[in-house]
Amino acid sequence: MKTYKVWGVLVATAISLALAQPGTAGDTAAAGDTASARAYVGVSLIDGTGTPLQHDMGVLIQGDRITEVLPSLQLKARLPEGAKLVDASGHYLLPGLIDTHVHMATVPNREQAEAYMRRYLYSGITSVRDMAGDMRALAELARKSRLGKIPAPDLYYSALMAGPSFFDDPRPGMAAEGETPGAVPWMQAITSQTDMEEAVALARGTWATGIKIYANLPYAQVRRITKEGHRQGIKVWAHSMVFPAYPSEVVGAGVDVISHACRLAFEIAGVRPDEYHHKVALDFDALDTRSPVLGGIFEQMKNQGTVLDATLWLYANREQRENEKPKDKRSAGICPSAVAGAMTHFAYENGVDVSVGTDGMVPYDAEYPALFDELEVLAAKADMPPLQVIRSATYVGAKVLGLEDERGTIEPGKRADLIFLSKNPLEDMANMRSVVLTVKAGTDYPREAYTPITKTELGEIN
Ligand SMILES: [Zn+2]
């Protein structure tokens, strides 16, 4: 991996400041942690907790940690010996972003996954949650990223559980190629006969961070998985509708996160297909997006801390592609982004934490990944204030991964996962697309060092 030491204007400013101030970077660096210590001062701080923007703040990084967060003047007065002072005035400082719904290895393709992960990191995404794929490939990506062998966010993956009938779907087949779909530790078929203690132990043995409950399971099994998962200390993530288990049952089972806002509609409409593959078109126009049924689900989610992984861009993107077709060629039953947005807004209004997950990719030659579209859709369609959208993409993402003590906000003791923007995202979410620098675990990844994805890197499957 190349290392880049140049960071445009900020470095130049830092050097002039350092020269003007004996005792900072001009001196010989002190041994130990302070050798890599640097203080960014003059930033406009959005710390990820939902606290309003704070002007003229300073943040000290030592090694891979944030050690001080103070007003610039105070930080300058207590700078450790050897620490480099960087004047970052005019920049907006946020925690590293977290995408809570990616798929990096449904069909393993290492070169392609590394290319997409490179775009994630240089765009400010420092952690991602992979929602099921081939663990054999995911584990390697996770390892290389963690060790800094590839420029990529930290990758956390899940072990899938579903009813036996789900494994006719081609995707689990591809993600278990060479083995029997449903009979591998990272994708297990579950029945009432399953030895759940063993199934959860097998899932944990893949080094997955969470179990993903996908489909074709009744409430009793969703509950059994969740109870045993929690007993063994692993997160349990589920689709909002598990077919036949309803959203209220999935939430009632005590899962930690539910994915896909639109699937909440099945319960409002009172439609309960037995299996995921039973295609049922809902009448979305007739749907009451503020139904008391939904209100009850959100009340329980708030009380037990269940997160909604809304994936709104997925719906907005599908809707846009449908609208580009001639009217008679459009598919029926597509969930309108306005409906998905209204339900997500209702969740937000009820105090439910919403995370930022994408479950999809923008074209390889787009400058920024789909998470930036999701941020804009959350602001526009779910009518969430920009500060709350940013909290969703940082603190809530860390909570989803069970890493809220370690990531997701800019506070002393947390890992130094940071992004610097040149424009104010609170004025317009599109300004998130002004990343100048990503810091992951204390290492710099300047945007100007980003090599765009090339078509060759995508390989043959695209
Ligand atoms: Zn997914």
Interval 278-331: pLDDT, tens = 888 899 999 999 999 999 999 999 999 999 999 999 999 999 999 999 989 988
296 with 151, same domain? yes
Name which of 1-5, 73-77, 96-100 the model is least confident about: 1-5
Report DSSP state, residue 182. B
Q: Is the pLDDT of residue 6 over 60?
A: no
224 with 239, same domain? yes
Q: Is the pLDDT of residue 38 over 90?
A: yes
Q: Mind giving me the DSSP string for 251-266?
A: HHTT-SEEE-GGGGHH
Q: CA 80 to CA 230: how far, in whole Å?
A: 43
132 CA distance to ligand 1 middle (Å): 7
Task: Output the pLDDT for position 23.
Answer: 35
Q: Is the pLDDT of residue 28 over 50?
A: no
449 CA distance to ligand 1 middle (Å): 30
Q: What percent of the chain shows pLDDT beyond 70?
A: 92
Q: What is the CA radius of gyration of the chain?
A: 23
314 CA distance to ligand 1 middle (Å): 10
330 with 377, same domain? yes
Neighbouring residues of 400: CB distance < 8 A, sequence distance ≥ 6: 98, 100, 129, 235, 237, 256, 257, 307, 309, 355
Domain tally, the chain: 2
358 CA distance to ligand 1 middle (Å): 8
Name which of 6-15, 54-63, 301-310 the model is least confident about: 6-15
* SS3 label, residue 415: strand
**106 φψ region: left (φ > 0), alpha (ψ -120 to 50), beta (else):** alpha
461 in a domain, yes or no? Answer: no
Q: Which residue has the tokens 């500060």?
A: 387
Task: Output the pLDDT for position 2.
Answer: 38
370 CA distance to ligand 1 middle (Å): 13
187 with 72, same domain? no
Mean pLDDT score of the chain, rounded to an integer? Answer: 92
161 with 272, same domain? yes
56 in a domain, yes or no? Answer: yes
Decide if 134 contacts 161 (C-beta within 8 A): no
405 CA distance to ligand 1 middle (Å): 26
Task: Output the pLDDT for position 35.
Answer: 55
405 in a domain, yes or no? Answer: no
Q: The domain that contains 434 carries what CATH number?
A: 2.30.40.10
pTM: predicted TM-score of the whole model, two decimal places:
0.92
1 in a domain, yes or no? Answer: no
Q: The domain that contains 107 carries what CATH number?
A: 3.20.20.140
131 CA distance to ligand 1 middle (Å): 6
Asked whether the CA dihedral 27, 32, 35, 37 is positive or negative, the reply is negative
Mean pLDDT of 257-270: 96
356 CA distance to ligand 1 middle (Å): 13
216 in a domain, yes or no? Answer: yes
pLDDT tens digit string along 148-194? Answer: 999 999 999 999 999 999 999 899 999 999 999 999 999 999 999 99
311 CA distance to ligand 1 middle (Å): 9
CA atoms within 13 A on the CB side of 83: 25
81 with 101, same domain? no
Task: Output the pLDDT for position 278.
Answer: 85
pLDDT tens digit string along 184-242? Answer: 999 999 999 999 999 999 999 999 999 999 999 999 999 999 999 999 999 999 999 99
Name which of 13-27, 57-71, 314-328 the model is least confident about: 13-27
* Residue among 407, 402, 398, 395 at smallest CA distance from 439: 407
101 CA distance to ligand 1 middle (Å): 6
27 CA distance to ligand 1 middle (Å): 51
Q: Is the pLDDT of residue 19 over 90?
A: no
181 in a domain, yes or no? Answer: yes
**Which residues lie near ion ligand 1 (Cβ < 5 Å)?**
131, 359
34 CA distance to ligand 1 middle (Å): 42
Report DSSP state, residue 331. P
259 CA distance to ligand 1 middle (Å): 8
* Residue among 389, 441, 436, 444 at smallest CA distance from 145: 441
107 in a domain, yes or no? Answer: yes
Q: Residue 234 belongs to what domain range?
A: 96-400
227 with 317, same domain? yes
293 with 426, same domain? no
Identify the domain boundary among 400, 424, 439. Answer: 400
Mean pLDDT of 124-142: 98
Q: How confident is the model at residue 7 (pLDDT cuts 50, 70, 90)?
A: very low
62 CA distance to ligand 1 middle (Å): 36
110 with 189, same domain? yes
Q: What percent of the chain shows pLDDT beyond 90?
A: 89
| Max CA pair span of the chain | 73
284 with 164, same domain? yes
230 with 331, same domain? yes
287 with 250, same domain? yes
191 CA distance to ligand 1 middle (Å): 22
3 in a domain, yes or no? Answer: no
106 CA distance to ligand 1 middle (Å): 10
Q: Mind giving me the DSSP string for 104-168?
A: S-SS--HHHHHHHHHHHHHTTEEEEEE-S--HHHHHHHHHHHHTTSSS--EEEEEEEEE-GGGGG
354 CA distance to ligand 1 middle (Å): 16
Q: Is the pLDDT of residue 144 over 60?
A: yes
* SS3 label, residue 449: helix
Task: Output the pLDDT for position 461.
Answer: 53
Q: CA 41 to CA 44: how far, in whole Å?
A: 9
